Structure 1
Amino acid sequence: MDSSVVGSSSISSENLVHPLSRHKVDVHHHIFLNTESKLANNIKAGWRTPEENLPWSPEISLAAMDALGIQFAFMSPPPLSPPKPSIENREQMRAFNDYAAHLSQTYPGRFGVFAGLPSLDDLDGALAEIEYALGDLKADGIALVSSYGEGGTAKYIGHNAYDAVWAELDRRCAIVFLHGAQTPSSTPFPHPLLGLPVVEVPNETFKAAAHLVVTGKKRRYPNIKIVLSHLGGSLPLLAARVAALSPHMGCELNHQDIIDDFKSFYYETALSAHEVNLAAMEKFVPLDHILFGSDFPAVSVDMVQWYTHNLEEYFRDDPAKLHHVARGNALELFPRLAFVLEESDTPYSP
C-alpha cells in the first residue's frame, strides 16, 4: 500500500485498485445540522471539515454513500463533549434525534439512527431522552462520548454518577456507539497539524473503554453492546498494559478478566483501516466484532476511499472475511437490517 497517498490534499479514485461494492454498512456517519456551530468547533478542535461537505445535507451523504459503495449508514451527532446541563442542550439533542428519525423514515433503506443524549450530568434529561429515542423513535442505538463535563471536573462514562444511564441501557439491551471527545478546557492539541481528531480523540476512546473495564462497568451491564470508534484508538496496543498494571494498582479484576472485557467490545474501522491496525485487531478480537465505518462527512470521500482500499487490500485473499467486516457483521448486530436491506447471496466482492 502507498502510504504517501494519505498526505495528499486530494486523492483520486483512479489510485484505487478495485471498484467499490455498493453493499457496505457504515456504523460511523455523522449529521452536521448547524454549519456555523460546526465551523466554530473546528477552530477549537484544530480540524478542517472538507468545504464540499458544508453546509451538510442528506443529498451530500447519499451521493458520498453511492460513490463509496455504502448501502446503509447509521447517523450520529458530532462527537462533542456536551456543555454543562441546560435546557438548550436538551433541545439540541431532541432536534437532532427527531431529524435523524425523519431521515430514517424518509430513506428506510439508507439511514439508521444512533440517538444523541444531553450531557449525562443532566441525568433526568439523559434518561428521558433514552426513553424517547429508543421507545418512541425506535432508534437503533445511543451515541455517547468518552467523558462529560469541563476540564478537571470532567467525568469519564464509567463514573458512578452515570450508573442509572448504564442500568437503563442494559435493561433495554441497547447498542451504544462510543466516540472519543476531548473535554472542554483540557490540554490543547500539541501542534496545528495534530488537531484533536488526529491524536486526542482516538486516545480518549481508549481511555473511556479502559475506564468501563477497570471499574467493572463493562461486565456489570452485559446486555449492552458497545461499538468503539476508530478501532478503539490506541486500545489494541495498550490493552495488555492495562491488564498488567491495573491489578497492581488495586483493580479487582485479574489480567485475563481485563483482556476478556476489552475483547467484548465491537470495533469499527473509520480512519483506521491500515494493515498494521487491522492485523492487530484481527489478532485481538473475533472477526465478528469488527465493523465498517467511514466518519463521513468529517472527512472527504477521497479519504474514505483510501481507507476502504486499504481494507479491501488487507482482505484481498479472503473475500468472506471482507464481506463480514463490510456488511455481514453489522447485519448480525442489527437484525432489523435483514428486513430493510436487499440481501445478496454472494459475499462482498470489491
Structure 2
Amino acid sequence: MKIDIFTHILPVKYKETLEKELTSSQKSAYTTQRYLPTLFDLDYRFRIMDRFDDLMHVLTLSMPPVENIASPRKAADLAKLANDEMAELVLKYPDRFAAAVACLPMNNMKAALDEADRAIKDLRFRGVQIFTPTNDKPLDSPEFLPLYEKMCQYNLPIWIHPQRPQSYVEYKGEEASKYTIHGMLGWPYETSVAMVRLVYSGVLESYPALKIITHHAGAMIPFFAKRVTGWIDSHDILLGRKDAGKLRRPQVDYFKMFYADTAIYGHTSGLTCAYDFFGAEHLLFGTDMPWDNQLGLRYTRQTIESIEQMAISAAEKKMVFEDNARSLLRLAV
C-alpha cells in the first residue's frame, strides 16, 4: 500500500461557501483552484487514484487558509464546515481516504484549540494543519504554544504548509512575483525559516514530543544543514551571540526532529538528500496532489518513481510509502 500523507482537497459544500465569502481581490489570488477539478470532484480524483495500485490519501484542506480570508468568528465557522465535510468523506470512502487533517482558525486561538479537540476526539482526525507564516507571524510566537502543547498531549503531528502571496515581489518596483517564484522558491524558504525559528527559539526543546511534518522534503534544511549550523556557530563566536548556546543538545539534533514528505515532484537525488538527513523513519510519502498540470497524475507518478529509484532497502521504501504514516498517524488501515 501507498499512503499519500499530503494531498489537498476542497470539499464541495465548503468550496461553495468559500466562494461566497471571498472578495474580488481574494478570488483573483486563488484562481488556480478552478482549473483543478481533482480538488473538489471525487470522480476525477478516484480516476487518477485508480491509475496506481493500492493508493490511499490523507486529506488536508487546500488553500486559502481560513484566517486569511475571514473574520475570527467566520473563520471558526469555515473550519468547522470543512472539517465536518472531510470527516464525512473519510467515513464514506474508507478504502480511499486513510484519514483527514484538521483545518484550524488560527486568527481565533480559543476556537482553534477547541476545534483541534473536536476534530481529534469527535471526528477522529489524525493531526492538524497550520500555515507559515500564520497571520503574518512566525510559528514560534507565544500565542501558538498552547497548540503545540495540545498536540504533544495527543501525540499527533502538525502539518506545516508554507504560504507567500504573488504580491510578494523579489525586487523593488515590480508589481508581482515573476515566474511564480513566490511559490516555487518562496514557499520552501518560508518552511525553512519556520524550522529555524522553531529550533533556535527553543520551541522544540520546550516540547520534545512535538511532531511536525514539513512540506517539500524539509525544504532547504537537508541541503543547507551544515551552512545553518556553521553560520550560527560562527556568529555566536564572532558576534558574541548565544543562539546555539541556549540549546542543550547539538543544533542538528533539533532539525532532525522534524518529519518530511516527499513532495519535490520526482527528484531522486533530492529525496536521497532528505533521506540522508532525516533518516528513513522521518520520511513519508506525500505528493502535493493535485497541484500539477495533469490534475495530480504527474506528481503522484513522478514521486512514486523517484522513491522506487532510491538506493535504499525494500524495507525502507515500505517505511516511506506506508509504515511511517501508520505509526505517526496511528492509522487503522
TM-score (norm 1): 0.79
| Alpha-carbon shift at residue 54 of structure 1 (Å) | 5.6
Cα distance in structure 2, aligned partners of 1:195 and 1:48: 15
State yes or no: 1:291 paired with 2:284: yes
Cα distance in structure 2, aligned partners of 1:209 and 1:79: 21
Q: CA RMSD in A?
A: 2.8
The 5 Å alignment of 1:166-205 reads: 166-182=148-164, 186-187=168-169, 191-205=177-191
1:161 to 143, 157, 164: 143
1:234 alignment partner AA: M
| Alpha-carbon shift at residue 296 of structure 1 (Å) | 1.2
Cα distance in structure 2, aligned partners of 1:228 and 1:164: 20
| Alpha-carbon shift at residue 40 of structure 1 (Å) | 7.2
The 5 Å alignment of 1:225-236 reads: 225-236=211-222
**Structure 1: 5+ residue stretches without partners:** 1-22, 341-350
| Alpha-carbon shift at residue 31 of structure 1 (Å) | 0.9
Partner of 1:15: none
TM-score (norm 2): 0.83
Contact 2:128–2:159 (Cα < 8 Å) also in 1 = yes
Contact 1:148–1:183 (Cα < 8 Å) also in 2 = no
2:134 to 123, 128, 148: 148
1:277 to 267, 270, 279: 270
2:299 alignment partner AA: M
Partner of 2:327: 332
Contact 1:28–1:76 (Cα < 8 Å) also in 2 = yes
State yes or no: 1:73 paired with 2:52: no
Contact 1:79–1:145 (Cα < 8 Å) also in 2 = no
Partner of 2:315: 320
| Alpha-carbon shift at residue 323 of structure 1 (Å) | 1.8
1:243-293 Cα distance to aligned partner (Å, 9 max, x none): 233352431445963200111111100134412212211221221111101
Partner of 1:109: 95
Contact 1:146–1:179 (Cα < 8 Å) also in 2 = yes
**Structure 2: 5+ residue stretches without partners:** none
1:224 alignment partner AA: L
Cα distance in structure 2, aligned partners of 1:220 and 1:328: 28
Partner of 1:3: none
| Alpha-carbon shift at residue 183 of structure 1 (Å) | 6.1
The 3 A distance-change label for structure 1 pair 243 and 80 is: farther
> What is the SS of the residue equivalent to 2:105?
coil
Cα distance in structure 2, aligned partners of 1:324 and 1:155: 34
Cα distance in structure 2, aligned partners of 1:220 and 1:255: 11
Partner of 1:303: 299
| Alpha-carbon shift at residue 115 of structure 1 (Å) | 0.5
Count of matched residue positions in the alignment of Structure 1 and Structure 2 = 309
Partner of 1:343: none
Which structure ranks higher in relative contact order (CA pairs < 8 Å, sequence separation ≥ 6)? 1
Contact 2:36–2:291 (Cα < 8 Å) also in 1 = no
The 3 A distance-change label for structure 1 pair 41 and 286 is: farther
2:257 to 259, 264, 274: 264
What fraction of aligned residue pairs are identical, expressed as a percent? 22
Partner of 2:3: 25
> What is the SS of the residue equivalent to 1:295?
coil
> What is the SS of the residue equivalent to 2:57?
strand
| Alpha-carbon shift at residue 61 of structure 1 (Å) | 2.2
The 5 Å alignment of 1:214-229 reads: 214-229=200-215
1:114 alignment partner AA: V
2:82 alignment partner AA: F
The 3 A distance-change label for structure 1 pair 55 and 104 is: closer
State yes or no: 1:62 paired with 2:39: no
1:22-61 Cα distance to aligned partner (Å, 9 max, x none): x21000011123278599768537x845835267223322
Cα distance in structure 2, aligned partners of 1:193 and 1:72: 33
Cα distance in structure 1, aligned partners of 2:218 and 2:275: 13
